Amino acid sequence: MSRSTTQPFPSLLQKFFTQRLLQQRHASPCTVAAYRDSFRLLLAFAHQRLHKRPSDITIEDLNAPFILEFLRHLEQDRHNSIRSRNARFAAIRSFMEYVSFEEPSAVALTRSVLAIPMKRFEQPLVGFLSREHIEAILAAPDPHTWTGQRDHVMLVTLYNTGVRVSELIDMRVSDLVLGPTAWVRIHGKGRKERSVPLWPDTAKELKRWLRQYPRGPEEPLFPGRSGAPLTRIGFTERLKLAVQSASQQFPELARRRIFPHLVRHSVAMHMLQSAVPVTVIALWLGHESPLTTHRYVEADLQMKDKALKALQAPSRTPLRYQPKDDLLRFLQSL
């Protein structure tokens, strides 16, 4: 039975975060933060266009034409990529799905918003670094300074595990197991944990690092100078310094955009080139689906070249169908 009145938008939004995301879905802090930022942008846009304070906005204000205008604003005015636009829209879609169950009287509005499709975009080929380039970057930090020693063991751990930057800077001393079989516990996206084995050389580097600079079990494995965990921006800056130093040996590195996730891509590609099964790589990297890992197969020209050489050339050129009808010719030309 539908209700005669609709709950105020501020009440619905607060309940969406507290009940749906936190209580029912137990969403991760990263998901909550991403959704929060999306609605901050939406409310700021509504204030600019509708001249309403957030507390005065109604659910009827957030109709499909308005949401489409907001999505255009993200791309054209804020210069967001299509991927970012879709991520912001995903938060709005999730809220509208919640509203459709919470307020049946708003079903027509929510359906019109949910009918807006996600925008498709080109999937670029995955870039990666060669083993020689990786080795040069790992050897670049100054071993005579505390920051250089930290950067070296941090980059070695990054390449060994192929973790995301957020997973690397969240590592605690207690996440390490440096026994006969060394491994590290990774706290992944969406509260998914996984264990990744460490090479003997990586384990030796980490043992030396902790022996020289001992810390408590719950302290960050790779701290900043203040002792707090290194930030994402801080790690990116340290990687840039290592790349600048390595570019003296390999000048081509200075002409490339090298970012933390590129090292993760490189780990996947090097494992793939070493004939590690895609399913194992997916588990190693913490991919939710092996389909994500198949992107690396697409990018590996060496594997494609090997497959091409394994094929025999056809004995003759196959005949190609030529449409005779004008309409068929038109469709063929599209």
Task: Give the per-residue pLDDT at 265.
Answer: 87
Place 193 in a pLDDT band, splitting at 50, 70 and 90.
confident
131-260 CATH choice from 1.20.1440.230, 1.10.3980.10, 1.10.443.10, 3.10.310.10: 1.10.443.10
- Average pLDDT (242-271) is 91
Mean pLDDT computed over 56-80: 95
Residue 182 near residue 203, CB atoms below 8 Å: yes
The structure's pTM equals: 0.62
Interval 132-149: pLDDT, tens: 999 999 999 999 999 999
d(CA 149, CA 153): 6
Rounded CA-CA distance 170/238 in Å is 16
Q: Which residues are catalytic?
A: 164, 189, 261, 264, 287, 296
Residue 284 is predicted with a pLDDT of 82
**pLDDT at site 1:** 39
More confident residue, 252 or 332: 252
Mean pLDDT of the residues in the chain = 86
Residue 278 — very low, low, confident or very high, per pLDDT cuts 50/70/90? confident
Asked if the domains at 9-114 and 131-260 fall in one CATH topology, the answer is no
Is residue 124's pLDDT more than 50? yes
Rounded CA-CA distance 184/178 in Å is 8
The tokens describing 54, both together, are 């957030």
Q: What are the tens digits of pLDDT across the range 282-330?
A: 878 887 665 555 565 555 555 555 544 555 545 555 555 566 666 666 6
Amino acid at 288: E
C-beta separation of 14 from 29 below 8 A? no
Please give the Cα distance from 254 to 248 (Å, whole number): 9
Average pLDDT of the residues in 14-34? 90
Fold held by 9-114: DNA polymerase; domain 1 (1.10.150)
For the chain, give every domain's residue range: 9-114, 131-260
- Residues contacting 244, CB < 8 A, separation 6+: 254
> Could you give the count of Cα atoms lying within 13 Å of 244 in the half-sphere of its Cβ?
7
DSSP-based helix, strand, coil % in the chain, nearest 5: 60, 5, 30
